[in-house]
Amino acid sequence: MWGSIALLGALVCAAIVVPAVVGDQPVRYDSVRLAPGSAHPFGTDSAGRDLLVRCLAGLRVSLVVALVSAVTSTVLGSVVGAVSGALGGWPDRLMMRLVDAINSIPHLLLGIVIVALYRGSLLAVVLSIALTHWTAVARIVRAEVLSLRQRPYVDAAVNAGASRWWVLRRHLLPAVVPQAALSAVLLVPHAVWHETSLSFLGLGLPPHLASIGTVLGEGREAVLLGAWWIVLFPSLLLLVTTLAVAGLAASWRDRMIPRRRSELSL
Protein backbone atom coordinates (compact mmCIF):
# COMPACT_ATOMS: atom_id res chain seq x y z
CA MET A 1 0.00 0.00 0.00
CA TRP A 2 2.71 2.48 0.99
CA GLY A 3 4.63 1.71 -2.17
CA SER A 4 1.58 2.56 -4.27
CA ILE A 5 1.04 5.77 -2.31
CA ALA A 6 4.68 6.81 -2.71
CA LEU A 7 4.70 6.05 -6.44
CA LEU A 8 1.39 7.81 -7.06
CA GLY A 9 2.48 10.79 -4.97
CA ALA A 10 5.73 11.10 -6.92
CA LEU A 11 3.87 10.98 -10.23
CA VAL A 12 1.33 13.57 -9.12
CA CYS A 13 4.03 15.91 -7.79
CA ALA A 14 6.03 15.57 -11.02
CA ALA A 15 2.91 16.17 -13.11
CA ILE A 16 2.20 19.38 -11.18
CA VAL A 17 5.70 20.80 -10.69
CA VAL A 18 7.53 20.02 -13.95
CA PRO A 19 5.00 21.52 -16.43
CA ALA A 20 4.55 24.55 -14.14
CA VAL A 21 8.30 25.20 -14.05
CA VAL A 22 8.90 24.62 -17.76
CA GLY A 23 5.73 26.37 -18.95
CA ASP A 24 4.32 26.18 -22.47
CA GLN A 25 6.78 24.66 -24.88
CA PRO A 26 7.15 26.41 -28.25
CA VAL A 27 7.22 24.48 -31.49
CA ARG A 28 10.83 23.77 -32.51
CA TYR A 29 11.29 22.46 -36.01
CA ASP A 30 15.02 21.91 -35.44
CA SER A 31 14.28 19.29 -32.76
CA VAL A 32 11.52 17.26 -34.42
CA ARG A 33 11.36 13.59 -33.39
CA LEU A 34 14.71 13.40 -31.63
CA ALA A 35 15.46 10.01 -30.09
CA PRO A 36 15.76 9.71 -26.28
CA GLY A 37 19.04 11.08 -24.97
CA SER A 38 20.64 13.06 -22.18
CA ALA A 39 19.02 16.32 -23.28
CA HIS A 40 15.58 14.76 -23.73
CA PRO A 41 15.14 11.53 -21.70
CA PHE A 42 11.86 10.70 -23.47
CA GLY A 43 12.88 12.24 -26.79
CA THR A 44 10.86 14.90 -28.59
CA ASP A 45 7.54 14.78 -30.39
CA SER A 46 6.58 15.75 -33.94
CA ALA A 47 6.56 19.44 -32.95
CA GLY A 48 9.99 19.36 -31.34
CA ARG A 49 8.68 19.57 -27.78
CA ASP A 50 10.24 17.62 -24.92
CA LEU A 51 8.16 14.46 -24.60
CA LEU A 52 8.79 14.02 -20.86
CA VAL A 53 7.31 17.43 -20.05
CA ARG A 54 4.50 16.83 -22.51
CA CYS A 55 3.66 13.46 -20.92
CA LEU A 56 3.67 14.89 -17.39
CA ALA A 57 1.40 17.75 -18.47
CA GLY A 58 -0.90 15.22 -20.13
CA LEU A 59 -0.89 13.04 -17.02
CA ARG A 60 -1.98 16.03 -14.93
CA VAL A 61 -4.95 16.69 -17.21
CA SER A 62 -5.88 13.01 -17.44
CA LEU A 63 -5.83 12.60 -13.65
CA VAL A 64 -7.96 15.72 -13.10
CA VAL A 65 -10.52 14.53 -15.65
CA ALA A 66 -10.51 11.03 -14.13
CA LEU A 67 -10.90 12.29 -10.55
CA VAL A 68 -13.76 14.65 -11.38
CA SER A 69 -15.47 11.96 -13.44
CA ALA A 70 -15.02 9.31 -10.73
CA VAL A 71 -16.41 11.58 -8.00
CA THR A 72 -19.38 12.62 -10.15
CA SER A 73 -20.10 9.03 -11.11
CA THR A 74 -19.80 7.84 -7.50
CA VAL A 75 -22.15 10.52 -6.18
CA LEU A 76 -24.74 9.75 -8.86
CA GLY A 77 -24.48 5.99 -8.36
CA SER A 78 -24.60 6.29 -4.56
CA VAL A 79 -27.76 8.39 -4.65
CA VAL A 80 -29.52 6.03 -7.07
CA GLY A 81 -28.39 2.90 -5.24
CA ALA A 82 -29.26 4.23 -1.78
CA VAL A 83 -32.70 5.47 -2.82
CA SER A 84 -33.42 2.25 -4.70
CA GLY A 85 -32.43 0.03 -1.77
CA ALA A 86 -34.22 2.17 0.81
CA LEU A 87 -37.53 2.42 -1.06
CA GLY A 88 -37.74 -1.13 -2.37
CA GLY A 89 -40.82 -2.30 -4.26
CA TRP A 90 -41.60 -0.92 -7.69
CA PRO A 91 -39.21 2.08 -7.42
CA ASP A 92 -36.37 -0.36 -6.80
CA ARG A 93 -37.36 -2.51 -9.77
CA LEU A 94 -37.72 0.55 -12.03
CA MET A 95 -34.29 1.92 -11.10
CA MET A 96 -32.61 -1.44 -11.57
CA ARG A 97 -34.17 -1.82 -15.02
CA LEU A 98 -32.71 1.58 -15.86
CA VAL A 99 -29.32 0.33 -14.70
CA ASP A 100 -29.71 -2.80 -16.87
CA ALA A 101 -30.66 -0.67 -19.89
CA ILE A 102 -27.55 1.49 -19.54
CA ASN A 103 -25.32 -1.55 -18.98
CA SER A 104 -26.64 -3.12 -22.19
CA ILE A 105 -24.96 -0.33 -24.20
CA PRO A 106 -21.16 -0.51 -24.55
CA HIS A 107 -19.67 2.24 -22.38
CA LEU A 108 -17.20 3.42 -25.00
CA LEU A 109 -19.91 3.61 -27.66
CA LEU A 110 -22.19 5.62 -25.38
CA GLY A 111 -19.28 7.87 -24.43
CA ILE A 112 -18.50 8.49 -28.11
CA VAL A 113 -22.10 9.54 -28.72
CA ILE A 114 -21.97 12.02 -25.81
CA VAL A 115 -18.65 13.63 -26.75
CA ALA A 116 -19.60 13.74 -30.44
CA LEU A 117 -22.44 16.14 -29.56
CA TYR A 118 -19.98 18.60 -27.97
CA ARG A 119 -16.68 17.73 -29.59
CA GLY A 120 -13.60 19.20 -27.95
CA SER A 121 -15.41 20.09 -24.73
CA LEU A 122 -13.79 19.17 -21.41
CA LEU A 123 -17.21 19.05 -19.73
CA ALA A 124 -18.48 16.62 -22.38
CA VAL A 125 -15.58 14.25 -21.68
CA VAL A 126 -16.26 14.34 -17.94
CA LEU A 127 -19.99 13.72 -18.46
CA SER A 128 -19.35 10.91 -20.95
CA ILE A 129 -17.28 9.07 -18.32
CA ALA A 130 -19.52 9.87 -15.35
CA LEU A 131 -22.78 8.97 -17.09
CA THR A 132 -21.48 5.58 -18.26
CA HIS A 133 -19.81 4.34 -15.05
CA TRP A 134 -22.27 5.09 -12.24
CA THR A 135 -24.23 1.86 -12.66
CA ALA A 136 -21.63 -0.36 -10.94
CA VAL A 137 -21.56 2.00 -7.95
CA ALA A 138 -25.36 1.99 -7.82
CA ARG A 139 -25.47 -1.81 -7.59
CA ILE A 140 -22.79 -1.91 -4.88
CA VAL A 141 -24.51 0.75 -2.76
CA ARG A 142 -27.93 -0.85 -3.27
CA ALA A 143 -26.64 -4.23 -2.08
CA GLU A 144 -25.08 -2.57 0.98
CA VAL A 145 -28.30 -0.71 1.79
CA LEU A 146 -30.37 -3.90 1.48
CA SER A 147 -27.98 -5.56 3.93
CA LEU A 148 -28.16 -2.63 6.35
CA ARG A 149 -31.96 -2.64 6.30
CA GLN A 150 -31.86 -5.96 8.17
CA ARG A 151 -29.84 -4.54 11.07
CA PRO A 152 -31.55 -4.27 14.50
CA TYR A 153 -30.92 -0.55 14.89
CA VAL A 154 -32.67 0.16 11.58
CA ASP A 155 -35.66 -1.93 12.65
CA ALA A 156 -35.71 -0.07 15.95
CA ALA A 157 -35.73 3.30 14.17
CA VAL A 158 -38.57 2.21 11.88
CA ASN A 159 -40.61 0.82 14.80
CA ALA A 160 -40.10 4.11 16.62
CA GLY A 161 -41.84 5.91 13.79
CA ALA A 162 -38.89 7.18 11.76
CA SER A 163 -39.60 7.78 8.07
CA ARG A 164 -37.69 6.04 5.31
CA TRP A 165 -35.95 9.29 4.32
CA TRP A 166 -34.82 9.88 7.92
CA VAL A 167 -33.44 6.34 8.16
CA LEU A 168 -31.75 6.77 4.79
CA ARG A 169 -30.14 10.07 5.77
CA ARG A 170 -29.26 9.12 9.34
CA HIS A 171 -28.25 5.46 9.17
CA LEU A 172 -27.92 4.15 5.62
CA LEU A 173 -26.00 6.85 3.73
CA PRO A 174 -23.26 7.30 6.39
CA ALA A 175 -22.75 3.53 6.47
CA VAL A 176 -22.19 3.24 2.71
CA VAL A 177 -19.66 6.10 2.50
CA PRO A 178 -16.60 3.76 2.80
CA GLN A 179 -17.91 1.52 0.03
CA ALA A 180 -18.70 4.54 -2.15
CA ALA A 181 -15.24 6.01 -1.55
CA LEU A 182 -13.61 2.71 -2.49
CA SER A 183 -15.71 2.60 -5.64
CA ALA A 184 -14.52 6.10 -6.55
CA VAL A 185 -10.87 5.04 -6.19
CA LEU A 186 -11.49 1.93 -8.29
CA LEU A 187 -13.13 4.08 -10.98
CA VAL A 188 -10.12 6.37 -11.38
CA PRO A 189 -7.95 3.96 -13.46
CA HIS A 190 -10.92 3.04 -15.63
CA ALA A 191 -11.74 6.72 -16.12
CA VAL A 192 -8.14 7.42 -17.16
CA TRP A 193 -8.29 4.67 -19.77
CA HIS A 194 -11.71 5.88 -20.97
CA GLU A 195 -10.47 9.47 -21.42
CA THR A 196 -7.33 8.19 -23.13
CA SER A 197 -9.40 6.12 -25.57
CA LEU A 198 -11.65 9.06 -26.46
CA SER A 199 -8.71 11.45 -26.94
CA PHE A 200 -6.77 8.84 -28.92
CA LEU A 201 -9.74 8.54 -31.29
CA GLY A 202 -9.78 12.31 -31.69
CA LEU A 203 -13.11 12.72 -29.89
CA GLY A 204 -11.90 13.73 -26.45
CA LEU A 205 -9.93 16.76 -25.36
CA PRO A 206 -8.85 19.40 -27.89
CA PRO A 207 -5.29 19.07 -29.28
CA HIS A 208 -3.97 22.14 -27.45
CA LEU A 209 -4.93 20.60 -24.08
CA ALA A 210 -2.38 17.86 -23.52
CA SER A 211 -3.50 14.53 -22.10
CA ILE A 212 -2.09 11.04 -22.36
CA GLY A 213 -4.68 10.29 -25.04
CA THR A 214 -3.83 13.32 -27.17
CA VAL A 215 -0.11 12.57 -26.89
CA LEU A 216 -0.71 8.99 -28.03
CA GLY A 217 -2.98 10.22 -30.81
CA GLU A 218 -0.26 12.55 -32.07
CA GLY A 219 2.21 9.67 -32.05
CA ARG A 220 0.25 7.34 -34.32
CA GLU A 221 1.78 8.64 -37.53
CA ALA A 222 5.18 9.18 -35.92
CA VAL A 223 5.50 5.44 -35.24
CA LEU A 224 5.42 4.79 -38.99
CA LEU A 225 8.35 7.20 -39.32
CA GLY A 226 10.38 5.28 -36.73
CA ALA A 227 9.66 7.52 -33.74
CA TRP A 228 8.59 4.64 -31.48
CA TRP A 229 9.30 6.58 -28.28
CA ILE A 230 6.36 8.94 -28.85
CA VAL A 231 4.00 6.04 -28.19
CA LEU A 232 6.11 3.88 -25.87
CA PHE A 233 6.81 6.35 -23.05
CA PRO A 234 3.26 7.77 -22.71
CA SER A 235 1.94 4.20 -22.69
CA LEU A 236 4.38 3.17 -19.96
CA LEU A 237 3.51 6.26 -17.90
CA LEU A 238 -0.19 5.46 -18.26
CA LEU A 239 0.41 1.84 -17.25
CA VAL A 240 2.47 2.76 -14.17
CA THR A 241 -0.12 5.32 -13.04
CA THR A 242 -3.06 2.95 -13.37
CA LEU A 243 -1.15 0.17 -11.60
CA ALA A 244 -0.31 2.55 -8.72
CA VAL A 245 -3.95 3.61 -8.32
CA ALA A 246 -5.17 0.03 -8.67
CA GLY A 247 -2.66 -1.13 -6.05
CA LEU A 248 -3.85 1.55 -3.65
CA ALA A 249 -7.49 0.57 -4.21
CA ALA A 250 -6.72 -3.15 -3.78
CA SER A 251 -4.93 -2.51 -0.48
CA TRP A 252 -7.84 -0.41 0.73
CA ARG A 253 -10.29 -3.14 -0.27
CA ASP A 254 -8.28 -5.84 1.51
CA ARG A 255 -8.24 -3.74 4.67
CA MET A 256 -12.01 -3.24 4.52
CA ILE A 257 -12.98 -6.88 3.94
CA PRO A 258 -11.91 -8.23 7.38
CA ARG A 259 -13.62 -5.29 9.07
CA ARG A 260 -16.82 -5.87 7.12
CA ARG A 261 -16.75 -9.56 7.98
CA SER A 262 -16.34 -8.80 11.69
CA GLU A 263 -19.27 -6.39 11.54
CA LEU A 264 -21.47 -8.97 9.84
CA SER A 265 -20.61 -11.58 12.47
CA LEU A 266 -21.84 -9.37 15.32
Residue whose C-alpha is closest to residue 148's, from 91, 100, 93, 88 = 88
The answer to the question of residue 34 being in a domain is no
Residue 74, amino acid: T
For 72-99, the pLDDT digits (tens) are 999 899 888 888 887 878 888 898 898 8
Whole-model pTM: value is 0.79
Highest mean pLDDT among 61-70, 207-216, 257-266: 61-70
Q: What is the CATH number of the domain that holds 74?
A: 1.10.3720.10
Count of the separate structural domains present in the chain: 1
SS3 214: helix
261: confidence class by pLDDT, cuts 50, 70, 90 = very low
Burial tier of 30 (Cβ tally within 10 Å: 0-12, 13-18, 19+): exposed
pLDDT over 80 (residue 249): no
For 131-163, the pLDDT digits (tens) are 888 888 888 888 888 887 777 777 777 677 777
pLDDT over 70 (residue 252): no
For 58-74, the pLDDT digits (tens) are 888 888 888 898 899 99
Contact of 215 with 202, CB cutoff 8 Å: no
Rg of the chain's alpha carbons, rounded to an integer?
22
The answer to the question of residue 147 being in a domain is yes
The answer to the question of residue 136 being in a domain is yes
Q: Within the chain, what is the greatest distance between any pair of CA atoms?
A: 78
The answer to the question of residue 31 being in a domain is no
The answer to the question of residue 86 being in a domain is yes
SS3 67: helix
The pLDDT score that the predictor gives to residue 154 is 72
Range of the domain at 13: 1-23+44-256
Within 10 A of 204 (CB to CB), how many other CB atoms are there? 30
The answer to the question of residue 265 being in a domain is no
The answer to the question of residue 8 being in a domain is yes
